[in-house]
Structure 1
Amino acid sequence: MMSLKKFFAAVILGALALPGYSQVSELDQYNPNSIDPIPRYEHLFKRRVWRTIDLKEKQNKGFFARGGEITQFIINSVRSGELSDIYANDSLTTRISKEDFMDRLVYQEGVEIEQWQNGFEYYEGDRVRYNGVTYTAIFDEITSVPSESPDDWEATPGYGAATFFLPRQISKIRVMEDVIFDKRRSRLYHKIQSMELIVPGSETLDQVELSLGVFKYKDLHKLFREHPESAIWVNRYNSAENKNFADAFTLRLFRASLFKYENPDNDPIVDMYQNRKEAVMASEWWEMQLMEKEHNLWEY
């Protein structure tokens, strides 16, 4: 039989060994994708939610001013190379290339046009490529060189090229954020993790919603701050109160519908109910649940 001294020694050794497995390291206490992260030991309550911002809604027009769309700002940043980290989904682990992103932006594929051939007869309406320019035949039985015969050929630059989605067609942003109640400060915080650019089904050829790419909000926030002259949320009532996009998101000057909350099946709300009407009502109900949760946590 184990002696009492050996028993207590085993208990003490076991207790000393437990923290090595149960405690979270100092590095893991902080979410690397959050701006001003709240350490895990300060979390009294946490829930991850996904919200959809419809930029065409009146309350969101500040992010979608004509010529100053947030979608145009992000696309331009990708094209210029300032925004290089693009992700396939909101796990923020699998990157896609700039070329893949630009391919997703294509609304309609281009048409391949044959090169002009010396000695070949062309007829009215025929199109050829010559020295990188597209020409259209004006008459029948034309054999002349397109660039040297303006009476026979009409330059039609841009014809056959691929067309891209316009910034105003990309009218949805899906936000993933952590809702955290900080027990030390007794306050609820919304920590945005990522933003996904989405083309709604009404704008695509196959009528199916198209995801263009996901970006870390931390990267976008930094970019907004670096471009105060163009990353502007427009106040439609008072232009003296226009704000940077980063400030507008911090102040939550947007209206978004609840798309998904974290659940074991990782299902969006619309897949949990039989029809769209029930799903919309459920989305509002879950919003009320979050508000009630915040109210109850204030007692702490």
Structure 2
Amino acid sequence: MRMRNADETCGIAGAALVLGDWWNVLVLREVARGHVRFDALAAEIGLSRKVLTERLGRLVASGVLTRSLYQRRPVRHEYLLTDAGAALLPVLVAMQDWGDRWVLGDGSLTATADEDGAEHARVHALTGTRLPEDLNLPGPGGESLPVVPPDAAATVLFTYPGTGVEWGEPPIPGAAGCTLENRLFRDAWPEFRRSGVAVRGVSTQLVHEQEGFARAEQVPYPLLSDAAHHLAAALRLPAFRGAGRLRHKRLILVVDAERTVRHTLFPVVDIPYAVDRSLRLAVECGGRSTA
């Protein structure tokens, strides 16, 4: 397919040529979620083998996916994001944010969610699913850290919009309270540690922003940066745009030692209750009771 001459210098037209149609977008969505093998992709998307083979070939040729051999007899490949493909993750998250707000929602800007809405259903459908094995994010020092530590009996993973942010007027409903949430997890950290439960806080803030806040507040657990939206894309987490940045909505996942999501707390409205509840749920799914 050739672009018209008028489009040859247009980046939007070039990106549209790579993405092609909605099947290509859905293939990239599923690869980002960790469904990297042909049969898993076919099952998740509902495409025929012929059409999926064609779409995968186009995406490989475009340089956003690469094929990696994982079995020789018979020959089987995994389809992985290249650097160019990973750079499309913010585009996918922005599309999801737009769809959640303007197609599935009423256009309201909010950092929370209605219990009968699409975002609520999508987050709670994570229960019983496994997080991708290689899901790592930059920690406070920029080092790559696993979202779920391999030696933890259970992990409490909480996402939040951001700390130390001037939200402007009027305030975005549900966005306040990030500093309080981190302080409550910090204060409860000794009990989490005695229970063998890891804690990970995640926002889309940059590494140096996370590091500065963690140092000022003496946060003892890692704050991970999802500025590149790897976690948001992998789990299709709800987001919203605030202060010029796509931000996570506040939620809590309780994950067991096998990286399986056992419990979801969303929306998080009562922060003190949610912090206490997450510890009790984590103990139930593998942590040690200190009572």
Q: TM-score range by the shorter chain?
A: under 0.3
Larger radius of gyration: 1
| Higher strand content, 1 or 2 | 1
